[in-house]
Amino acid sequence: MFSIIRDFFLQFFNPLAFVSVVLFVSLFLIKKKPNTAIWFVAICLVIIAVFGNSYFSTFLTRSMEWRHMPNQAMAKADAILLVADGTFVSDTPRQRIEVGEEADRVLYSAMYYQQKLAPVIIVSGSSIRANSAKTLLMELGVPEDAIIVQADSSNLREDISQSLQIIDEKEIKSVILVTSALKMDRTMFLLRESDLTVTPAPTDYQVTLSDWQNLTDWKWQKIITQLLPTSTAFDQTFTALWEYFGLAFYRVKAIF
């Protein structure tokens, strides 16, 4: 019941949901309080214009993603800790495991294993995410006995908590942490109090060096074609803001 209540309220933190609710309320205020309705509509337009702007979303995403950059000379570790996401089960009409953007994590984990950087991969996530990631790893050539699945978590905090229990049981001292670059800082923060030696291995970058250089060229031809908001930029902004809010929540909670 708590998870249902939590999910119900969390949906209102989505900027698009917030804008929709405010516009809906504004419809009932047009006749009785037109000035208030105008202000509400203006606020919605500002949110859409700012959050949906490609420049704003790119700057915000880069500020979080580039905190941990890939290490070309990756050191060996006792295990690879894969925070699974981006894989979809072979539910009808899918004929096999399918992948989304965040499934880069699985591809990189398989690559690190094949490079013999670690002898085992710990796959952490919900039942669907973890087991579908395991299937994909096996299709990529990772043997089943080299995969440990933790499939009892519903959020990142539980991912790390449950994984640490396995790590303690197996007496693992060092891990290569594989997750999306945008989520790496928050994940590293949750591992701060462990005695593990953690090597961050971020994947799934939304902002590349080329993207950044093109954006900061400030050529008028590019600027005038990126003035209006887009749904892609809007979603990217929300994802980055969610990471900032989550990290701030963990930091405040750690103090108290």
Q: What is the CATH number of the domain that holds 89?
A: 3.40.50.620
Q: Is the pLDDT reported for residue 253 higher than 90?
A: no
- Give the integer Cα–Cα distance in Å for 58 and 20: 24
Which range among 59-63, 193-197, 214-218 shows the weakest confidence by mean pLDDT? 214-218
pTM of the model: 0.88
Domain boundaries, position 130: 79-203
131 and 153 both lie in a single domain: yes
8-state DSSP, 95: -
Residue 147 inside a domain? The answer is: yes
Residue 212 lies in a domain: no
Residue 224 has pLDDT above 70, yes or no: yes
Check whether residue 187 and residue 122 sit in a common domain.
yes
Residue 117 within any structural domain of the chain: yes
The 10s digit of each residue's pLDDT in 119-128 is 999 999 888 9
Q: Which residue blocks in 52-201 are alpha helix, DSSP H? A: 54-65, 104-114, 127-139, 156-169, 181-190
148 contact partners, CB below 8 Å, separation of at least 6: 79, 120, 121, 122, 123, 166, 170
Residues 90 and 193 in one domain: yes
| Any domain includes 218 | no
Shared domain for 128 and 184, answered yes or no, is yes
- For position 256, what pLDDT does the model report? 74
Same domain, 185 and 239: no
SS3 state of residue 82:
strand
Q: pLDDT > 70: what percent of the chain?
A: 98
Question: How many domains does the chain contain in total?
Answer: 2
* Same domain, residue pair 91 and 129: yes
Q: What is the pLDDT of residue 101?
A: 86
Domain match, 60 and 85 both = no
> Cα–Cα distance between 161 and 156 in angstroms, integer?
9
What single string gives the DSSP state of each residue in 209-240?
Answer: HHHHHHHTT--HHHHTTS-S--HHHHHHHHHH
> In this structure, are 83 and 6 located in the same domain?
no
What is the pLDDT averaged over residues 180-186? 95
Q: Which residues 6+ apart lie within 8 Å of 65 measured at CB?
A: 181, 182, 184, 202, 205, 206, 207
pLDDT tens-digit map of 2-41? 667 777 777 777 788 888 889 999 988 888 898 999 999 9
Q: Among 33-42, 60-69, 215-224, whose mean pLDDT is lowest?
A: 215-224
Model confidence band, residue 254 (pLDDT cutoffs 50, 70, 90): confident
